[in-house]
């Protein structure tokens, strides 16, 4: 508001001075006044110039008198510029110092944070060391107690050591008597060693004789099945034991048939714990079990029949007329080819049935039986055939794990490919 008032005053003052100058110049011109001997026209010009100078002077004078900023702009501008430049330089320096200070503050903050972390770690370590110190103090206390106890025991041991010294003297005297006794026993040992060599020679001779006997007249080979049967499980122990006794009697009859003479069931010897364990296993079994009485070793005529038991879980492996396997053979019609083909096919049937769970004969490795008439019928059917023939095997009757597997074999001629 102050600046507006100042401008209004200057305008009014300038207008007044211009008006006065104009009027003065007009009056000078009309009266043809002269200043300094100049012509009136020139005098009027000087008056006009003086009037303009007065206007300017009065303007600057009023502005300088009323405004410090105007005085500074008119008389102190260069000094003001110098101060501004100095201030700007100081400001730049302060800004740079402030940036450096901020960087230093950030570094100090990072260092402070790191120090806090280190302090926390040191506090944790201090806690750990305090706990270890407490444990060490407790350990020292226990060691001190143990030391006192050991010292007490050491006193007792010292007394015992005296007693042991006395006993040691007694043992030394006893050792002398034992040394003489040892010399006497050494002589007797030499005699026993010679007797032992003699016994070894006689044992070897007996062993060779026994081998000769076993190779001469073997009734049952080791692992050969003497008798077998299926015994129902999940029954009272007494019932299962009765069935096992019946199976043992069957084994005795089979041995009698092989020897051609009567053999008591007591002569078929089965280890009693093994027999009782088998009875308990079958009684607890939820399904029927196949029991085999097998020769424990090669049985020679005249020896006691020693046997062991084998248990297998029983189930129906093949239903009546169930397909077993089929194989294709290329026949050329040569002699003996048909019989070889049937034998090869029966081996394949044997492998397939064994893999499905039918128990093999331990000696022959077979699982099935086949009538001789049926065998020769299929051989005669294949004799003379040429080309591809497919043999298929089917179960004849339901067959469980005990077997044997009875077969029906079918032969099918395939048409020759063009």
The position carrying tokens 């089917």 is 394
Ranges of each domain in the chain:
2-77, 187-216, 219-313, 317-413
C-alpha–C-alpha distance, residues 389 and 317, integer Å: 27
The pLDDT value recorded for residue 214 is 47
The pLDDT value recorded for residue 212 is 45
The pLDDT value recorded for residue 278 is 85
The pLDDT value recorded for residue 132 is 86
- Helical pair 68-75 and 40-66, crossing angle rounded to 10 deg: 120
C-alpha–C-alpha distance, residues 350 and 373, integer Å: 19
C-alpha–C-alpha distance, residues 124 and 114, integer Å: 15
Please, where are the H alpha helices in 32-76? 40-66, 68-75
The answer to whether 262 and 206 have CB atoms below 8 angstroms apart is: no
The neighbour count for residue 387, using CB atoms within 10 Å, is 14
The pLDDT value recorded for residue 207 is 57
Q: Is omega for the bond preceding 404 within 30 degrees of 0, making it cis? A: yes
Mean pLDDT by 10 residues, the chain (418 residues): 64 74 69 66 74 76 71 69 85 87 87 87 87 86 85 78 76 73 72 69 56 56 78 86 85 76 60 85 84 76 75 80 84 78 82 76 66 76 81 82 78 72
Q: Note the pTM of the prediction, 2 decimals.
A: 0.42
C-alpha–C-alpha distance, residues 79 and 75, integer Å: 9
């Amino acid at each position: 508001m102050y600046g507006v008032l100042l401008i209004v005053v200057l305008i009014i003052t300038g207008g007044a001075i211009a008006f006065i100058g104009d009027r003065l110049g007009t009056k000078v011109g009309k009266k043809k006044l002269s200043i300094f001997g100049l012509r009136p026209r020139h005098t009027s010009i000087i008056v006009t110039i003086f009037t303009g100078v007065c206007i300017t002077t009065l303007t600057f004078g009023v502005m300088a008198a009323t405004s410090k900023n105007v005085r500074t702009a008119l008389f102190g501008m260069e000094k003001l510029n110098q101060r501004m430049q100095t201030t700007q330089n100081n400001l730049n320096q302060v800004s740079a110092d402030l940036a450096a200070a901020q960087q230093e503050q950030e570094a100090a903050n990072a260092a402070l944070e790191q120090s806090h972390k280190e302090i926390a770690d040191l506090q944790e370590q201090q806690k750990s060391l305090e706990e270890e110190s407490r444990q060490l103090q407790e350990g020292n206390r226990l060691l001190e107690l143990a030391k006192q106890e050991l010292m007490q025991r050491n006193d007792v041991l010292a007394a015992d050591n005296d007693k042991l010294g006395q006993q040691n003297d007694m043992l030394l005297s006893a050792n002398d008597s034992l040394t003489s006794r040892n010399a006497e026993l050494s002589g007797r040992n030499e005699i026993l060693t010679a007797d032992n060599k003699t016994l070894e020679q006689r044992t070897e001779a007996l062993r060779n004789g026994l081998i000769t006997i076993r190779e001469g007249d073997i009734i049952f080979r080791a692992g050969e099945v003497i008798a077998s049967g299926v015994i129902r499980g999940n029954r009272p122990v007494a019932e299962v034991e009765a069935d096992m006794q019946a199976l043992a009697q069957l084994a005795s009859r089979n041995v009698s048939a092989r020897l051609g003479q009567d053999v008591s069931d007591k002569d078929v010897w089965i280890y009693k714990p093994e027999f009782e364990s088998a009875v308990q296993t079958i009684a607890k079994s939820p399904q029927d079990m196949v029991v085999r009485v097998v020769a424990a070793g090669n049985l020679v005529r005249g020896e006691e029949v020693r046997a062991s038991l084998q248990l297998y879980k029983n189930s129906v492996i093949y239903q009546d007329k169930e397909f077993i396997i089929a194989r294709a053979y290329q026949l050329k019609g040569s002699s003996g080819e048909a019989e070889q083909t049937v034998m090869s096919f029966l081996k394949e049937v044997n492998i397939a049935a064994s893999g499905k769970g039918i128990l093999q004969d331990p000696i022959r490795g077979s699982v099935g039986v086949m009538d001789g008439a049926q065998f020769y019928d299929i051989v005669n059917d294949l004799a003379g055939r040429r080309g591809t023939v497919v043999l298929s095997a089917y179960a004849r009757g339901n067959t469980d794990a005990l077997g044997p597997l009875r077969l029906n074999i079918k032969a099918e001629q395939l048409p020759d490919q063009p």
